[in-house]
Amino acid sequence: MSGDWPLGAVELKVLDLEREVAFYESFGLSRVSGDSEHAVLGAGGSPLLRLVALPGGLDRPRHTAGLFHFAILLPSEQELGGFLRRSLEERLPLTGTADHFVSQALYFDDAEGNGIEVYADRPRSEWQYPGGRLNIGTEHLDFERLLRIASTPEKKFSAGTVLGHMHLNVSDLDRSQSFYESLGMELMAEAGNVMRFLSWNGYHHHLGINLLEGRGAAPVTGDVRGLRGFQIGGLHGSRTDPDGILLEPPL
């Protein structure tokens, strides 16, 4: 999680900017900058999330591409345990939990239904590669252990917290994989015929893609709330992926 981390900030179009800013500040991000039309939030002074007001915007229809969730990567499992404790004490909108073998994860929805994952990685030495592919699975999260090792819960995420990965609903897995491979990613794992995980530099995944909104899902449009795009380090100029998601270099 150094300056070479490949992901910058994610950008969401929101229907109620004030409500969304209040949600994310209570969730653990700190406001970095903003005005009446946008807000940038982050951790340790580094931007992680950009919210842009979408006056008169529409709710996202079913069977459309876009955000499944964006993922906030914490520096340690002790901090994840502290955040779990705070989530339970403050009744944050926890929607699910999972042990993915390579990481431990908590899932939430924001005030407008955008999915959020908060997670911590396991050491790479513990990752397994049966059949040559990384084993990313899902099983019960050991709540009790996380709470036992938890650091003191803090109101804000610590410095070193980053946008760990993006997980997208797409219209065609092969087409999306080919596009992101052209940006230097490689396939790390698959889940049946509906989900794939790609990354740079052998990480478990910087990108998840899935068909949970159906094959041929409609592309992202500017008048619908939700994901606009995200930042990728080393990108020269803006690009748009096959589903209309904007990719930009960090500011």
Q: Where are the domains of the chain?
A: 7-248
- pTM of structure: 0.97
Reference 7, options 174, 146, 205, 245; nearest CA is 205
Tell me which CATH code domain 7-248 carries: 3.10.180.10
The pLDDT value recorded for residue 131 is 87
- Are 67 and 115 in contact by the 8 Å Cβ rule? The answer is yes
Residues of the chain falling short of pLDDT 50:
1-2
Question: Which residues have C-beta within 8 Å of that of residue 118, sequence separation ≥ 6?
Answer: 71, 72, 74, 80, 83, 105, 106, 107, 108
pLDDT tens figures, 32-89: 999 999 999 999 999 999 999 999 999 999 999 999 999 999 999 999 999 999 999 9
